[in-house]
Amino acid sequence: MSFDATFALALYGAVVATVVAVLQWRAQRSDRAALRLRGSVWTLPGDSEPTTQVRIANVGRRVIEFDQFGVEKKSGELVELWHIAVDRRLEEAQSVATSPAEIDEMFDPHKTVRTVYVRDTTGRIWKMPRGEFKRFRASHERAWRAHYRARKELRGESNPERRLGG
């Protein structure tokens, strides 16, 4: 074998090893558990109250279990609202949705809540992004204002801000 052939073979080996290392690194990074929290608010036709829902989705490639749902205060304090009563084990690409009973704690009128969180069984905290939570809170407030405005128009009720603490 000449020097050129040895060099070419070594260069080929180095390139292949680098490509394999990068592919392994990417596979390892994408093979993690990851949760995403999203909020939504909707109202059914008629005189129904707005429904608030938090969707917890496994966007990672590992099975993940969670056991706690709560709010993060602006002070950084985590306050558990309830133990999750839905299927806590999420396979890859699976999600669950829940309508929190303690909705007033999530959307307190003094806006002391920064976001909502879920704690998995390993102790890791997964939070709804703050911008998403602000949009969630705003849509919740708009839905309740519209609901009470419609009730007031239809029935002559007063105090449309009652639910919002105003």
In a domain, 20, yes or no: no
| CA-wise closest residue to 35 among 61, 57, 67 | 57
- Is residue 106 within 8 A of residue 81, CB to CB? The reply is yes
> What integer is the mean pLDDT of 156-161?
56
Is the confidence at residue 165, as pLDDT, over 70?
no
Whole-structure pTM value = 0.73
- Is residue 117 within 8 A of residue 70, CB to CB? The reply is yes
For 129, the 3-state DSSP assignment is: coil
In a domain, 104, yes or no: yes
Half-sphere exposure of 160 (CA within 13 A, CB side): 16
The DSSP call for residue 71 is E
**pLDDT class for 84, splitting at 50, 70, 90?**
low
How far apart CA 94 and CA 64 sit, in angstroms, is: 10
In a domain, 9, yes or no: no
Neighbours of 52 (CB within 10 A): 21
How far apart CA 163 and CA 159 sit, in angstroms, is: 9
Phi-psi region of 49 (alpha: psi -120 to 50; beta: other; left: phi over 0): beta
Provide the pLDDT for residue 28: 77
> What integer is the mean pLDDT of 71-86?
84
**pLDDT class for 134, splitting at 50, 70, 90?**
very high
For 28, the 3-state DSSP assignment is: helix
Provide the pLDDT for residue 114: 93
How far apart CA 99 and CA 39 sit, in angstroms, is: 10
In a domain, 122, yes or no: yes
In a domain, 19, yes or no: no
> What integer is the mean pLDDT of 106-135?
91
In a domain, 97, yes or no: yes
Range of the domain at 113: 32-164
Provide the pLDDT for residue 118: 93
**Domains: count for the chain:** 1
* Mean pLDDT score across all residues of the chain: 85
What CATH number is attached to the domain comprising 123? 2.60.40
